[in-house]
Structure 1
């Protein structure tokens, strides 16, 4: 099963690489004109296009790019720096942001989701469910702007911009992480709570839980032996997917706060037409999502005894 999942993931990744390269190449605008300006002579534009290899067929350039990927070469940025070196610090900064968000998301979403299901139909359930519905409908950058207005402009307790010294770790400046993490956490928490609450509510009305209660089991035993084991496979899937979604969703959040991650780099690269950087970032995010989906499928099998037994047979 693991081999089949991995082979499917590799096939999807190969298809994704083609879609990413061709799709980015078809983006509106000319990357050469965006760099040198619209007043440049056609001869100079043609010379630059030839220098960058943009005058060759797209499939030929895709083959060369794919060969570079196989050797760990992501190409060269418009600035002249290797894309790998350009991404090294940025990927780490975004990973810190997403990692902290997921570490906070897991216990909070599990606790709130199970609590709302346990009190389903009551005031607590209505408050949690309504709040989650409102937050899940709001984009991350809107939440980020509201948090800046509250904590940075009105209360003045946190910085509005999450700038870091060159080469510094974000963990050495925790104050710049608070608002970006909170922005991602609130939106991710809204989705995770809704999914976990639905799964827990279904479990609480199952015959298995009714049998435990009729047998005299306490509510704590029901929660530990029936509800949490049933909810955990779904919750792990949500947490894994949310981790990659945080990196992708951080594109606008990082831009709002000026945080030096891959999201801010992606926006600026699209603006100046730096195709190698855009292609590398989109493939990185897509590949990470495919890997997480494979891990999520495996997690469901490993955490569900019935499925684990079926696979073993």
Structure 2
């Protein structure tokens, strides 16, 4: 528990340092919070009075310490417009969590399936060479060679495409050109999309780049794990490729794969803030955009803090799975 506790405190320290950086960055933005709240017609005296009311005339360090002390008691404070940040997050975070959760599930399932298929495309005795550049038409089967030549560039391109570019392309193809799927999100009274098809394009925009990256990680991890002596023994015993992968290779590749998926959580949450804006999705993206425009530091920091806690929890789960998968090894 001691190493885990040290790791937890180190991550908490990094999160607090990140929140302090957010305070500094938002404070350096041009404009005035009081002016953004009151409008252009407000006089300088009204703006100064509003900023004094919000405590913005205090030193930045004092404001940060006051805010972080409130967060430790579960109170994120109030927005510059007077709304409780706790209520705001309670309204807007569940839709973002739904979108990010679906994207993560799709990423995990598809990456595992394609990565395992890619690693197993060669004959069982060639599985250990699947991660090597030596996989050619002379050494692998035609299927293995075809998979290698297709997936190698496809996953690279998928991982390299930014979410906002991919979202725009998906809208052009599936919404504007074919009309198969909606390009914008309409919400019900609870703030969730009124139909499931409104989630398809945002989920794909988030999942496809992560599928590209994680597929390569899964394939590389499986290929490395396949080099273990017990895997060769299992192959020589005549076990099928599927059995070898599931029982003898995947458990040894699990630490690397799970760590990659845990990192994906942060990428999905970060990407969702952009994707939500493009699809008019009712999540934290609109909240963050509005708070940046208002220079509302407390809201921006609250979104970062909430996202950071979710990421930390996922890393804790990944650490637990990694410890479980490594049990009994020297």
Which residue in 2 is equivalent to 1:253?
Answer: 275
Which residue in 2 is equivalent to 1:29?
Answer: 31
8 Å contact from structure 1 (residues 113, 194) kept in 2 = yes
SS at match of 2:185: coil
Which residue in 2 is equivalent to 1:160?
Answer: 183
Mapped to 2, the partners of 1:294 and 1:146 lie a distance apart of: 35
**Larger displacement relative to structure 2 (156-165 or 7-16):** 7-16
Q: TM-score, normalised by structure 1?
A: 0.90
Mapped to 1, the partners of 2:38 and 2:90 lie a distance apart of: 27
- Structure 2: gaps (5+ residues): 122-129, 136-144
In the TM superposition, 1:289-300 aligns within 5 A as: 289-300=311-322
8 Å contact from structure 1 (residues 32, 273) kept in 2 = no
Deviations 1:258-290 (A, max 9, x none): 000112221222123222211211222223323
In the TM superposition, 1:1-313 aligns within 5 A as: 1=1, 2-37=4-39, 40-119=42-121, 120=130, 121=135, 122-170=145-193, 173-306=195-328
State the superposition RMSD in angstroms.
2.1
SS at match of 1:77: coil
8 Å contact from structure 2 (residues 175, 182) kept in 1 = yes
SS at match of 2:187: coil
More helix by share: 1
- Structure 1: gaps (5+ residues): none
Mapped to 2, the partners of 1:23 and 1:154 lie a distance apart of: 41
Deviations 1:157-182 (A, max 9, x none): 11110121332434x52121111111
SS at match of 1:305: coil
Paired residue total: 307
SS at match of 1:295: helix
8 Å contact from structure 2 (residues 106, 207) kept in 1 = yes
Deviation, 1:17, is 3.3
**Larger displacement relative to structure 2 (101-110 or 11-20):** 11-20
Mapped to 2, the partners of 1:294 and 1:18 lie a distance apart of: 23
Q: TM-score, normalised by structure 2?
A: 0.85
